[in-house]
């Protein structure tokens, strides 16, 4: 079930399958996650279009998987929902999965607040409008409460990170924005699809507790290293956690 567990400051990281790890967890205050999903075929079966946007067939293929994906929305959304009694849930997706996300959230008893938009600035080539946005379903459980900065806008514009630690890596500042708006210091944020640990880095910088789960060991190791560095270089306005600990346990060799 859990192949490895690391505790770094106020962050607890699990190497394992989130569908098996999440049922063992206590309730959390918020969820901020970018789940894996299969890309849809773009249908670029004709000739290269070329032109100033270089819509070549080789540059346009978008079928298959970016990361390992053998679960669907109806598998993980109910489990995520069960871990939040009262709190905010942010779930990211591309334009083709908005409907799946919203339907799964409703069936999982999440209540819809808003559909947020991240403008990545750099567009992906496409014959039906260049894709420069990703979408974030903003849901809540329990009694509704306002975000901490009510001046925040639905759309946030922020360029992609320069590093390539993960094929779908998000800016730390983006995750900080959502974590900071929906939690207070000491509250717990969960990311069941941790990837390279961007949400965990945001929590470490903000003085929030974090639980992250990742299936891929290589990305898990990257996440551990990034979160350690976040504590080594804390935000000047955030008090670092007391008794910084690191625990590395091999719980399951399977």
Handedness of CA 75, 76, 77, 79 (dihedral sign): positive
State the pLDDT at residue 21: 98
Residues 79 and 81: their CA atoms lie apart, in Å, by 5
State the pLDDT at residue 47: 47
pLDDT tens, residue by residue, 164-184: 665 667 999 999 999 999 999
* Structure confidence at residue 123 as a pLDDT band (50, 70, 90): confident
pTM: 0.83
With CA atoms as reference, report the closest residue to 68 among 175, 220, 180. Answer: 220
At CA 213, angle to CA 184 and CA 190, rounded to 5?
20
Q: Are 243 and 3 in contact (CB under 8 A)?
A: no
Residues 111 and 57: their CA atoms lie apart, in Å, by 41
Range with the poorest average pLDDT among 147-156, 209-218, 234-243: 234-243
Residues 198 and 204: their CA atoms lie apart, in Å, by 10
Residues 152 and 154: their CA atoms lie apart, in Å, by 7
Residues 139 and 78: their CA atoms lie apart, in Å, by 13
Q: Are 196 and 165 in contact (CB under 8 A)?
A: yes
* Structure confidence at residue 70 as a pLDDT band (50, 70, 90): confident
pLDDT at 149 over 80: yes
């Amino acid at each position: 079930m859990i192949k490895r567990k690391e505790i770094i400051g106020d962050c607890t990281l699990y190497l394992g399958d989130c569908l098996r790890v999440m049922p063992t967890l206590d309730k959390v205050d918020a969820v901020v996650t970018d789940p894996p999903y299969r890309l849809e075929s773009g249908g670029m079966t004709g000739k290269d279009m070329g032109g100033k946007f270089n819509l070549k067939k080789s540059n346009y293929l978008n079928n298959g998987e970016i990361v390992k994906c053998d679960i669907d929305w109806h598998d993980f959304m109910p489990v995520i929902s069960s871990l939040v009694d009262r709190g905010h849930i942010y779930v990211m997706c591309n334009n083709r999965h908005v409907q799946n996300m919203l339907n799964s959230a409703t069936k999982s008893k999440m209540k819809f607040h808003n559909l947020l938009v991240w403008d990545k600035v750099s567009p992906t080539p496409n014959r039906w409008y260049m894709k420069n946005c990703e979408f974030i379903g903003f849901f809540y459980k329990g009694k509704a409460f306002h975000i901490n900065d009510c001046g925040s806008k639905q759309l946030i514009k922020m360029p992609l990170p320069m590093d390539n630690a993960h094929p779908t890596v998000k800016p730390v500042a983006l995750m900080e924005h959502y974590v900071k708006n929906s939690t207070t210091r000491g509250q717990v944020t969960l990311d069941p699809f941790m990837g390279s640990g961007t949400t965990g880095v945001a929590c470490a910088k903000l003085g929030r507790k974090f639980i992250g789960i990742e299936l891929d060991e290589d990305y898990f190791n990257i996440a551990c290293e990034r979160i350690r560095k976040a504590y080594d270089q804390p935000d000047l306005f955030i008090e670092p956690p007391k008794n910084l600990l690191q625990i590395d346990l091999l719980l399951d060799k399977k």
